[in-house]
Structure 1
Amino acid sequence: MKISDSVKYVGVNDHEIDLFEGQFEVPLGMAYNSYVIIDDKIAVMDSVDRNFGSEWLKNIDGVLEGKTPDYLIVQHMEMDHSANVLSFMQKFPEAKIAASKMAFTMMKNMFGTDFLDRQIVIAEGSKIELGKHTLNFITAPNVHWPEVIMTYESSEKILFSADAFGKFGANDKEDPEGWACEARRYYFGIVGKFGSSVQALLKKASNLEIQKICSLHGPVLDSEIKTYIDYYSTWSSYDAETEGVFIAYTSVYGNTKQAAEKLAELLKSKGCPKVAVADLAREDTYECVEDAFRYSKLVLATTTYCGGIFPKMREFISHLAERNFQKRTVALIENCSWAPAAVKGMTAMLEPLKDIKIIDEKVTVKIAVTEETVRQLEVLAEKLTDSL
């Protein structure tokens, strides 16, 4: 992957991983990115996952061609980017290490040392001059860890953005869906809770002329930079990206599924521009989280279970709440055999969330979908499409 004559890619691709962070499915693998800036002085930007230390150090040697790095810049201490910091510092004993104050505390906890005699503590506005290249440091707390810094290289106008603008997927495997799909799932799965912090970062970035974004995951972004920033602006402000309805359901014997699919059919017949339907028990949880944030309206359909909400639905709403789900219209459908309780339970989980409007027209399926059920679904479909 070529970045420029002076900025070299030394990252690695992981095709052995099954779950990123122990929970996110990554069928296209994962990239752990690292970069080297070669000038009068040489800076290495971040490390990689512990399983790839030897490969990473070999990649660095390959671009240095016998030279020695002067700095290791540690933007983020999450272990998929910091695991080989100690190995680097041992291999290059003359190199200094630059990071935030909190990052050095984390290093002491992780490695038993904070490299006190070699450390450069970075704060907002700090700079390191390499020669023609200048590293300008930007603090980015809680994007998505509190110690994060980012780096703007002003001569080539490159933003080294830590985990921001990253995506799932290895860099040597083409993603047929492009950048946005897996970047969106990555954002809402991992960063979504910290929208206000991302907004603060974007405000700082608005003063920069950015020609390339080098994230710690995924491809280098070197065109249409405004498009990527606009995505992040929408996501971090919790605005809907797509006008439409996402229907998320759980179904024990197929009747709630039938109601969900009938509602989707009715919405399409009434001109709803986009309708997506997902079975929460069978589809990737974080794909569903992504769609809940993507669409302007959400329908939750589930079964009364143990006097409350079916577990997969309860878990799904918890995921949304943890990520500050807000600014949405939500409709509720429940199924019951005798005492309906799912709507009451879902309402109780949703009410504390910010700017959530719950549609008054609820649908109650009494075991099977009947003509009365369809009538209720018709009313709900009308309500959902009123403002579309």
Structure 2
Amino acid sequence: MYCVQEIAPAIVWVGGSDKRLERFENMFPLPKGIAYNSYLILDEQTALMDTVDSAITAQFLENVEHVLQGRALDYLVVNHMEPDHCANIEELLKRYPDLKIVGNKKTFQFMEQFYTFSKPENYYIVNEGDELSLGTRTLRFYLTPFVHWPEVMFTYETTDKILFSADAFGCFGSLSGNIFCDQTDFEGVFLEETRRYYANIVGKYGPQVQKVLSKLAQLEINMICPLHGPVWRENLSYILGKYNLWSSYQPEKQGVVLAYASMYGNTENVMNMLASKLSSKGVQDIRMYDVSKTHSSYIISDAWKFSHLIFGSPTYNMSLYHGMQALLHEMAALNLQSRKVSLVGNYTWANASIKEMTEIIGDMRKIEFIGEPLEIKSAMKQEQIPQLDQLVEDIYASISTSVSAAQPSLAKHNAM
């Protein structure tokens, strides 16, 4: 049976959730599943904002047909050509052969790369600022390349001032009836997964996000409708503020993330000592992760949140431990920057971990190393306690003198 909700007069959410999917893009764990959003506008002409993943095709098509009530579908706007949002284009063309597909030139290039159909007679190509009248409503298109694919665009509905934002402002996690952020405990349920989604999916493209935020600042926006996660109709300044922090690589909070690799527990012991001593100094909300146990997406998400990072790793086969090497390379690929970093290395006969961690992290932008790297030979010894204590002092002094970023507050009810 159909499952739809009206988000504004004659604009209906026709998406769905997949609570069974284990991994997003076959990489990122989804303990709470994922939502795929699509929105149908009913005017003199009808327009559908994107489709959904093939996993929920049956539900999606039933939703669309129910809302249309026998009417034709006139337009399909493709804001993003990633398969989790465009898997049903061909199915819609079979049902509505006169359907006009709205996209930019890159949209249709990707469409014909992914699929075997070619329907140029159905293509409606738009450029920056172009408008499409549906009758009483008008859609305006903004090209937003590399947020987070090169063909991405946003669609702005000018009457109710609704922004259909593709993957921007979305998050991991399925929906459970409540499709609006203000209907949920957003900070308790969705914030961590919004940050994890941003850091791992969009994070590399901070400069492009900054350009888009500047473009959006010129618009009056009453609602943001992303392709994943809940819809924003209140406190838009909150999520826009978060995106401004994340895309400018500013930490949200002064604090420490400790990520380590440990084969037999000796490196882990040093990291526990560091964490305990930092806590005794008054540092709060310390996060600690074993890179062999925790998926890198969670560690990267917290690296986006906190100001200080401590990495600890043994040397393995004359090189850096595999899990730590993969984590640091992923952080570098995602363009993480403007963090303060301390290092702990461990070795028995060949010392490589500190050198390799320094090289990888040193190539990242605006990284400040705090304190002297602490090098352990196999296991921590009493005579090295003064070195560890000095590293704790250096990290604490750095945290204490840093200025916290201003935080967007959900308590403020500000619309654009």
What TM-score does the superposition give when structure 1 sets the normalisation length? Answer: 0.97
Structure 1 equivalent of residue 190 of structure 2: 179
SS of corresponding position for 1:386? helix
CA contact (8 A) 1:249 1:257 kept: yes
Q: Distance in 2 between matches of 1:85 and 1:158?
A: 23
Higher mean alpha-carbon deviation, 312-321 vs 91-100, is at: 91-100
Structure 2 equivalent of residue 148 of structure 1: 152
Structure 2 equivalent of residue 369 of structure 1: 380
For residues 108-156 of structure 1, give each alpha carbon's deviation from its aligned partner in whole angstroms, at most 9, with x where no partner exists: 2223344211211011101111122111111010111100111111111
Q: 1:351 deviation in Å?
A: 1.5
Q: 1:370 deviation in Å?
A: 2.2
Task: Report how many residues are paired.
Answer: 388
CA contact (8 A) 1:28 1:173 kept: no
Q: Name which of 285, 304, 327 aligns with 1:316.
A: 327
- Residue identity in the other structure for 1:212: M
Structure 2 equivalent of residue 225 of structure 1: 236
- Sequence identity of aligned pairs in percent? 38
- Residue identity in the other structure for 1:40: E
Structure 2 equivalent of residue 328 of structure 1: 339
Change (3 A) 1:308 1:173: farther
Structure 2 equivalent of residue 289 of structure 1: 300
What pairs up with 1:126-137 in 2 under 5 angstroms?
126-137=130-141
Structure 2 equivalent of residue 100 of structure 1: 104
Instruction: Please state if 1:234 is matched with 2:245.
Output: yes
Q: 1:360 deviation in Å?
A: 4.2
Q: 1:173 deviation in Å?
A: 7.2
What pairs up with 1:8-19 in 2 under 5 angstroms?
8-19=12-23
- Residue identity in the other structure for 2:155: T
Instruction: Please state if 1:254 is matched with 2:265.
Output: yes
Q: 1:68 deviation in Å?
A: 1.4
Change (3 A) 1:173 1:245: farther
- Residue identity in the other structure for 1:189: N
CA contact (8 A) 2:18 2:33 kept: yes
Q: Distance in 2 between matches of 1:324 and 1:141?
A: 17
Q: 1:179 deviation in Å?
A: 2.3
SS of corresponding position for 2:6? coil
Q: 1:255 deviation in Å?
A: 1.1
Structure 2 equivalent of residue 61 of structure 1: 65
CA contact (8 A) 2:371 2:391 kept: no
CA contact (8 A) 1:334 1:364 kept: yes
Change (3 A) 1:109 1:341: closer
For residues 313-348 of structure 1, give each alpha carbon's deviation from its aligned partner in whole angstroms, at most 9, with x where no partner exists: 001101101101111111000111233221011111
CA contact (8 A) 1:184 1:290 kept: yes
- Residue identity in the other structure for 2:174: A
SS of corresponding position for 1:80? helix
CA contact (8 A) 1:168 1:183 kept: yes
Structure 2 equivalent of residue 80 of structure 1: 84
Q: Distance in 1 between matches of 2:209 and 2:118?
A: 28
- Residue identity in the other structure for 1:224: N
Structure 1 equivalent of residue 9 of structure 2: 5
Structure 1 equivalent of residue 33 of structure 2: 29
Q: Which runs of 5+ in 1 are unaligned?
A: none
Higher mean alpha-carbon deviation, 356-365 vs 159-168, is at: 356-365
Structure 1 equivalent of residue 181 of structure 2: none
CA contact (8 A) 1:144 1:190 kept: yes
Structure 1 equivalent of residue 166 of structure 2: 162
CA contact (8 A) 1:6 1:37 kept: yes
SS of corresponding position for 1:3? strand
CA contact (8 A) 1:243 1:274 kept: no
Q: Which runs of 5+ in 2 are unaligned?
A: 179-183, 400-416
Q: Distance in 2 between matches of 1:233 and 1:74?
A: 25
Instruction: Please state if 1:120 is matched with 2:124.
Output: yes
Structure 2 equivalent of residue 305 of structure 1: 316
Q: Distance in 2 between matches of 1:341 and 1:110?
A: 43
